[in-house]
Amino acid sequence: MSGHRAPSLLLNDEQKMLSKTAHEFIRERAPAGRIRTFRDSEDQVGFSRELWNEMAELGWLGLQIPEEYDGLGLGFFDLCVVLEQSGRELMPEPFVSTLLLGTQALLLGGTEAQKKTLLPGIAAGETLVTVGYEEGGRHGDHSKVETVARESAGGFELSGEKIQVLDGHLADRIIVSAATSDADFTLFMVDPVQSGVTITRQNRIDGLNSAIVRLDRVSIGRDSIVGDLDGGAKLLRAVFDRASVGLAAQMLGGSEQAFADTIEYIKEREQFGVPIGSFQALQHRSVSVFTEIALTRSVVLAAARAIDEAPDDVPKLASLAKATASETFLHAAKEAIQMHGGIGVTDEHDIGFYIKRAQAAYMTFGTPSQHRQRWAELHGY
């Protein structure tokens, strides 16, 4: 890391209160079992708009948004405090799509007009902005873009298809990547109601919501460019770094809750007249998960702090946090299933939702092996 001062991994008094309030609010109002309700009812939204608006009133959606755009003007670290708690209950609300993708793209590359138009609405819970970057057959490689933007008299015409666009079925704006030269691509702001835009809802096993977005000669002006023309790769990479850290905070929360639920279960479940938690083999496995979660917490908090205080360190720490949190969450979820036994694989028990979310998050914004390779390259290996 650059400099000589290690990042603080401690929450101040305000952040401790924020964490406590968020934990109590989410635990009471948004238990993980809601995912089953949204799925079985074939809910057309896929999350609670009422709850999203309540969190906006609490100021959580605008924590990182500057005050001039009606936010609280705090830091990404503060946002991660809430993200961790949202991850504990696997909330399907648009944290990743709007706060970690759309908002970060606007903060890093949006024009003043784009920020004034969209950020206040995001902070108020009224506007959803997502990013469409995934394309079929790319296997996580977002550097090559098949969607094209051809110059026209009024600006550009976009044609192509994006898959797995988080909350794309409800988004008020979708920022999409489109090739503008042989060397690079550009990010464009698209209004979903424009002529030529077709959106098809997708259902994911992890409880999040997504859509296929098809663009057929969609006409947009030059004022729709987010960031620089032919500068999309650099901007999207910076957005992914922030999104990876935020997602790692959610995975940390998911790991903690899956572990806590498992410990509670093995203390109560009896075999041979004693709690199974007294078995040494399960104790050893529990200690292993506990240790991994503690390490993950340190890495995630360091990465979140770097976004606010040490931007040069962000690429390295973002990859370290994403790789570590992905593996910890998957390990914690797998062990939770094993220690719950047969009931752990039934749909009636909530613990099964954690492994589904862990598997999806593992692949999102790059796998651990991809991030370890990037981390090594950034360190000169």
pLDDT tens track for 119-129: 999 999 999 99
Asked if 59 and 25 count as a contact pair (C-beta separation under 8 A), the reply is: no
What is the residue extent of each domain of the chain? 13-128, 131-230, 233-378
Tokens of 166: 């988080």
Fold of the domain spanning 13-128: Butyryl-Coa Dehydrogenase, subunit A; domain 1 (1.10.540)
pLDDT above 80 for 135: yes
Question: What confidence tier does 5 reach under pLDDT thresholds 50, 70, 90?
Answer: low
Give 305-345 pLDDT, tens digit per residue.
Answer: 999 999 999 999 999 999 999 999 999 999 999 999 988 88
Rounded average pLDDT over 154-161: 94
Measured distance CA(229)–CA(221) in Å, rounded: 13
pLDDT above 60 for 1: no
Q: What pLDDT, on a 0 to 100 scale, did the predictor assign at position 348? A: 87
Amino acid letter, 41: S
Q: What pLDDT, on a 0 to 100 scale, did the predictor assign at position 4? A: 52
pLDDT above 80 for 139: no
Q: What pLDDT, on a 0 to 100 scale, did the predictor assign at position 353? A: 96
Give 194-249 pLDDT, tens digit per residue.
Answer: 999 999 999 899 999 999 999 999 999 999 999 999 999 999 999 999 999 999 99
Residue 276 per-residue DSSP state: G
Q: What pLDDT, on a 0 to 100 scale, did the predictor assign at position 7? A: 73
Question: Which residues 6+ apart lie within 8 Å of 361 measured at CB?
Answer: 206, 247, 250, 251, 254, 326, 329
Amino acid letter, 204: R
Question: What confidence tier does 64 reach under pLDDT thresholds 50, 70, 90?
Answer: very high
DSSP, collapsed to helix, strand or coil, labels residue 343 as: helix
Q: What pLDDT, on a 0 to 100 scale, did the predictor assign at position 365? A: 96
Half-sphere exposure of 87 (CA within 13 A, CB side): 30
Measured distance CA(131)–CA(323) in Å, rounded: 22
Give 179-192 pLDDT, tens digit per residue.
Answer: 999 889 999 999 99
Question: Which residues 6+ apart lie within 8 Å of 252 measured at CB?
Answer: 84, 87, 293, 296, 297, 300, 325, 328, 329
Residue that is written with structure tokens 């399960």 in the block: 282
Q: What is the DSSP string of 50-91?
A: HHHHHHHHTT-TTSSS-GGGTS----HHHHHHHHHHHHHTT-
Rounded average pLDDT over 155-165: 96
* Rounded to 5°, angle at Cα 360 from 74 and 128: 45
For residue 16, give the nearest of 57, 89, 102, 77 by alpha carbon: 77
For residue 251, give the nearest of 94, 366, 32, 88 by alpha carbon: 88
Q: What is the pTM of this model?
A: 0.96
Q: What pLDDT, on a 0 to 100 scale, did the predictor assign at position 261? A: 96
Q: What pLDDT, on a 0 to 100 scale, did the predictor assign at position 154? A: 84
Average pLDDT over the chain reads 95
Considering the four listed CATH numbers 1.10.3470.10, 3.40.140.10, 3.20.20.80, 2.40.110.10, the one that applies to the domain covering 131-230 is: 2.40.110.10
- The phi, psi pair for 147, rounded to 5°, reads -60, 135
Give 25-51 pLDDT, tens digit per residue.
Answer: 999 999 999 999 999 999 999 999 999
Query: Which region among 139-143, 214-218, 279-283 has the lowest average model confidence (pLDDT)?
Result: 139-143
Is the domain covering 233-378 a CATH 1.20.140.10 domain? yes
Helices (H), 30-181: 34-40, 49-57, 76-88, 103-109, 112-123
Neighbours of 183 (CB within 10 A): 8
